[in-house]
Structure 1
Amino acid sequence: MKKLNRLKWVVAIAAAFFVGLIGVTSISSSSVEAARIDMVDVSNHNGYMTTAEYINMRNNYGVKAISTKITEGQSYVDPYAKSNIANAQAAGLYINAYHFARYYTKAQAIAEANFACQQAQKAGLPVGAVLTADVEAPEQTYVSKYQNNIDNAAFEAVVKSYGYRPDVYTMASWIGVRMDIATGSGWIANYVGNATGKRYYSSNHGWQWRSDQHFSTSYGDFDASQLYDDYYTAGQNSNNNVKPNKPSKPTNKKSVDVTYAFHQKGGSWYSNVKNFGSGNNGYAGAPYHANDLLYLKVNHGTIKYRVHTIEDGCWLPWIKKANKNDTVNGVAGIKGHTIDGVQIVYTTPKGETYQQAYYRSQTTQRANYLGTCADNGTVAGYDSWAGMLGEPLDRLQIHINNHSKY
Structure 2
Amino acid sequence: MNVQEIRKQFPILDQEVNGHPLVYLDSAATSQKPISVIEAINDYYRKHNSNVHRGVHTLGTRATDGYEGAREKVRKFINAASTEEVIFTRGTTTSINTIAASYGRANVSEGDEIVISHMEHHSNIIPWQQLAKEKGATLKYVPLQEDGTISIEDVRETVTPQTKIVSIMMVSNVLGTMNPVKEIAKIAHENGAVMVVDGAQSAPHMKVDVNDLDCDFFAFSGHKMAGPTGIGVLYGKKALLEAMEPVEFGGEMIDFVGLYDSTWKELPWKFEGGTPIIAGAIGLGAAIDFLEQIGLDEIEKHEHKLAAYALEKMSDVEGLTVFGPNDPSKRAGLVTFNIDDVHPHDVATVLDAEGIAVRAGHHCAQPLMKWLKVSATARASFYLYNTEEDIDKLVAGLVKTKEYFSDVF
TM-score when scaled to structure 2? 0.26
| Higher normalized strand content (fraction of residues) | 1
TM-score when scaled to structure 1? 0.26
Structure with more contact order per residue of length (Cα contacts < 8 Å, sep ≥ 6): 2
